A and B are shown apart, each in its own frame.
Chain A
Amino acid sequence: MNINATYINIYNVCKRELWLHANQIRFEHTSDIVYDGKLIHEDSYPLRSSKYEEIEIDGIKVDYYDTKNKVIHEIKRSNKIEQAHEWQLKYYMYVFEQHGVTDVKGILEYPTLRKTQPVVLSDVDRDRIKEIIADIDKIISSEECPPLQKKGICKSCSYYEFCFTKEVEE
């Protein structure tokens, strides 16, 4: 099973979304929030393109990699699910290491909040990533979709209507 960084991100938000997403049942295209994020990604840091590079290896696609300072930059719209963003970035660093690029640092960037957040990869994290990968593999290769779990974030999720629409009889 091919795992990418999106899976790592979603894994830390919602297991049900992970299963659906991995099975190509997706709703991101219906979401204004996702679209907003795409625009933020495209329009932030316009001067960067010459100095930074967008890199793709082994199922990951890094927003910007600063080769000189060895820093991976990841742009996000809001820091509501910061923990998931951190793991996504840590996974990038992990994959870089697997390919022999070591001592890489990470920065989460929230341009609309005018905030940044440095991220480092520790030994504990490396072990945790291995666990996460194994767990993701288990979830997405299962026939069963994980059950519905109501969370605070559900209402702003692009899967909300899919998960919560039902007929309530009188």
Chain B
Amino acid sequence: MKQSMRFTNAAWGLLFISPWIIGFAWFQFYPLLLSLYYSFTDYSIVKATHFIGLQNYVTMFKEDKDFLPSLRVTFLYTVIAVPLKLAFALLVAIILNSKGRFINVYRTMYYLPSILGGSVAISILWRFLFMREGIVNQVLSFAHIPAVDWLGSPNVALWTISFLVVWQFGSSMVLFLAGLKQIPADLYEAGMVDGASRIRMFGSITVPLLTPIILFNLVMQTIGALQEFTAAFVVTNGGPMKSTYLIGMKIYDDGFKLLHMGYASALSWVLFAIILILTLLIFRSSRSWVHYEDGGKN
């Protein structure tokens, strides 16, 4: 009796989530498997496909002179954009954690850029803001700061597109805000009684208790940054001189511009492996710096 009841429950459950399962299987899992297969072929959309074994992976490391530089740019971008974004998100979250009159309005306003997100429209806006005769340089000129070639200088362009991502701090900010709300007020009271300064309390109470959220944000943003495409594609088109040629753009170029779809699939899988390893490393490292209130035993 009990057994069959459990069975029907499971069946109903499966039925209800079947739209998602079917969607996932067809639009994500199947393409995923197919791309793994393609990565061992010379699939090009237009010509007959041949199985070529590991050739794509060999080409990547031995012949493709763009692959390693592009990985380098991607890492550099991640190292710039992710910490900046998290620091900025935390700062805004702390400000918005105060009790003001219109605090909810402010919270919404600060979340807005994230809703607009990394869309193409925003990237185009970015291009116009940061071009040589754009608004940013005009504002700088009021302060008598010489114009910066934000998009055209190989040393600066990567920073410019990093700012675009930092600007979309909303989702991290909301998580930080939720985390801040969870910190028991009595800890701060105890700190105050003991005469701790605000900075001391931030370092010894706020940050340690936020570490689970920091970990989550760090992992999510790192994954996102390693896969970034829109900003580089729309704002700088990978240039100048490939200084913003992120691996995501390279995959696109190889796949859709040069029609080496098999090769692009292989690149994707290498990127996947890199992301997986990095994520595991971050999790491994978290043992030494993430603090769970219950000691992480539950």
Please determine whether chains A and B interact with each other in the same assembly. Answer: no
Give me the interface of A with B, judged by CB distance under 8 Å: none
Q: Residues of B at under 8 Å CB distance from A?
A: none
